[in-house]
Amino acid sequence: MSVPTSDIDAGGIDLAAAAAAAERAAERARREILPRFRAVEVETKADGSPVTEADRAAESAIRDELGRAFPDFDVLGEEYGGSADREGPTWIIDPIDGTIAFSRGLPLFTTLIALCIGDEPVLGLIDVPALGERYVGWRGSGCRRNGQLVRVSRRADLASAIVSHGDPFCFERAGRRAGFERMARQIPMLRGYTDAFGHAMVLSGAVDVMADFDLKAWDAAATRVLVHEAGGACHVIPGPPEREGTLGLVLGSPPLCDALLEMLEA
C-alpha cells in the first residue's frame, strides 16, 4: 500500500505554484492533441504499444512548460524517457493515456502529470481534453474538477456499486485472471471504463471503485495522490517479477476497495 500523501515531505516546494505550472502544461498539451484528434496516423513502438504524433508533440510541450517553471526538477515521460534515479523532485508525464481510444476516435483519453518526491506523488493532474474536464490536487489541497471540489463514492456494497476495470488482458499479465473472472461472475455492474479515464470517474464518485493492473509509473502517479485528496483509498499492488516495473491499483470508496481486494486475492 502507498504511504499516505499527508506523510510525505514536499521538500519546501510550493505545490500550488507547481500545480499552476502543471495546468499551463496541460493547456499546451491540449493545443497539440485536440487538432489531431480523429486526424492522426498511428505507429507501433518496439514494445507493441501504439503511439501518435500527438503523443510526442504533447509531451514535448509539457516538458518545455515544466522546464521553464522548475528547471532543476527531473522529468520522466512515457515517450522521451528520463532519469530512473528519482531521489529528488521529478515530474512524471503521460501525454496521452489511452492512445488506443484516441487513435480510434473515442474521447476517453487523458493527459497525466504528477510531481513525485522520490517514489511518492505529492501532486497530480488528470486532464480529459475531449470532455473539457481537468482534475487537479496536491498534498493537503483536496481534489478539484474544473475548480470544484470532488469526492469519491461513499458506497459500501459491491452489489449496488459501479465497478470499473482495466483490460482483462492486463489482469492476465499481472497474474490475476482468476480474480477478474470472479469479478465478472459476482459483480452486477462491472464496467470497462479503462485507463485513467476510469480513474477520473472514481475521483468524482461516478464510478464507485476500480481495479487496474499492469500499469507503469506514469499511468498511476497522478491517480495515487488525487484519490487520497478526494477522500478515497488507493492500494498499490506490485506487479509480478516477470513484469518488473509494473503495478496495480485498487482505488475508490474505502470499504469497496477492501471488498474488491478480498475478491481479487481469494
* pLDDT tens string 143-189: 999 999 999 999 999 999 999 999 999 999 999 999 999 999 999 99
What is the average pLDDT across 178-205?
A: 97
> Residue 1: its pLDDT value, please?
35
In angstroms, the CA 100 to CA 86 distance is: 29
10 — pLDDT class (breaks 50, 70, 90): confident
What is the average pLDDT across 38-43?
A: 89
Rg of the chain, C-alpha, whole Å: 17
pLDDT surpassing 80 at residue 11: no
266 — pLDDT class (breaks 50, 70, 90): low
> Residue 6: its pLDDT value, please?
42
Domains and CATH numbers, the chain: 5-147 (3.30.540.10), 158-265 (3.40.190.80)
Helix (H, G, I), strand (E, B) or coil at 189: strand
Residues 263/179, Cβ–Cβ less than 8 Å: yes
Q: Which residue has the higher pLDDT, 6 or 39?
A: 39
Q: Given the C-alpha cell 516546494, which residue does it identify?
A: 13
Q: Which residue has the higher pLDDT, 231 or 3?
A: 231
Q: Please state which of the ranges 77-81, 138-142, 170-174, 240-244 shows the lowest mean pLDDT.
A: 77-81
What is the average pLDDT across 137-146?
A: 98
Helix (H, G, I), strand (E, B) or coil at 125: strand
Please state, in angstroms and as integers, the Cα–Cα distance from residue 190 to each residue in 57, 171, 198, 199, 266, following that order. Answer: 35, 15, 12, 15, 18
Phi, psi dihedral angles at 165 (to 5 degrees): -150, 155
Mean pLDDT of the chain: 93
> Residue 48: its pLDDT value, please?
77
> Residue 185: its pLDDT value, please?
96
Residues 63/75, Cβ–Cβ less than 8 Å: yes
> Residue 163: its pLDDT value, please?
98
Would the pTM count as exceeding 0.85? yes
Residues 80/92, Cβ–Cβ less than 8 Å: no
What is the average pLDDT across 27-43?
A: 94
pLDDT surpassing 60 at residue 7: no
Burial of 73 (0-12, 13-18, 19+ CB in 10 A): middle
- Nearest Cα neighbor of 92 from 100, 107, 80 is 80
pLDDT in tens, 64-109: 999 999 999 999 998 888 865 667 899 999 999 999 999 999 999 9
43 — pLDDT class (breaks 50, 70, 90): confident
Question: Of all residues in the chain, what percent carry a pLDDT higher than 90?
Answer: 85
> Residue 251: its pLDDT value, please?
98
3 — pLDDT class (breaks 50, 70, 90): very low
In angstroms, the CA 67 to CA 76 distance is: 12
pLDDT surpassing 60 at residue 138: yes
